Amino acid sequence: KVFRMAFQIAETGFDPARISDIYSRIVTSHIFEALYGYDPLARPARLVPRIATALPETNADFTEHRIQIRRGIYFQDDPAFKGAQRELTAQDFIYALMRFADPKTTSPMWATLEEQGIVGLTELRRRALEAKQAFNYDARIEGLQAPDRYTLVFKLKAPRPRLVEVLAQGDLFGAVAREVVEAYGEDIPAHPVGTGPYRLARWRRSSLIVLERNPSYREVYY
């Protein structure tokens, strides 16, 4: 019951906002979960909900996307949660996406997210750069909203009918808990905590990566 795989090139870490290499992304895709994914057997390719309950509800010109997320999904157990079971909420996706915009993160994938035209996100990043101040994660922006615990609303500057395909990249755009990032600081690449079926058990950089089954993962049926 062990699968072994050799990487040709060393990984860089397991913080989704700070990676772009394929080998790190292979690992994070098993630890984090996106709103959407792909049916592995469907031909042609077919998007299916993962964390979301259904495909987005959009307005006529695809500048607003409303997504409902499933209730009762929990992050992997971690000391950052201080013994409590931590439920996933819509705000965790907002925080995860904001991390790509934070200049301190120096995300190599920021351009991909910026291209989607989320209203207010680029401006929030620009204010942090110009003022040379910390990025304001508590700022409310029009383009990323959580009207309730399980609802996520995107508002975009221009029509983006394929936004859902961007959000289906679980290796990059899975939910991240703010308290985990704040607990581990600059060491966060070594402490990925998601809602996925696997968790990082051991890591020796460029030598060994061990993933083990997440015992708190929910039952999922194909």
Q: Which DSSP string do the residues of 50-94 spell out, in sequence order?
A: SSBSSSPEE-TTSSEEEEEB-SS-BPPP-GGGTT---B--HHHHH
Q: What is the pTM of this model?
A: 0.95
Contacts of 158 (CB under 8 A, 6+ apart): 63, 117
pLDDT score recorded for residue 222? 79
Task: Decide the pairing of beta strands 36-38 and 57-58.
Answer: unpaired
CA distance 89 to 151: 8
8-25: pLDDT as tens digits: 999 999 999 999 999 999
pLDDT score recorded for residue 125? 98
Secondary structure element (H or E) that encloses residue 191, with its range: none
118 alpha-carbon distance from chain centroid: 16
Low-confidence ranges of the chain (pLDDT < 70): none
CA distance 50 to 69: 9
pLDDT score recorded for residue 1? 87
pLDDT score recorded for residue 221? 84
Q: Which residue has the tokens 């996406």?
A: 97
DSSP state of 93: H
pLDDT score recorded for residue 81? 97
Alpha helix positions (H), 34-109: 90-101
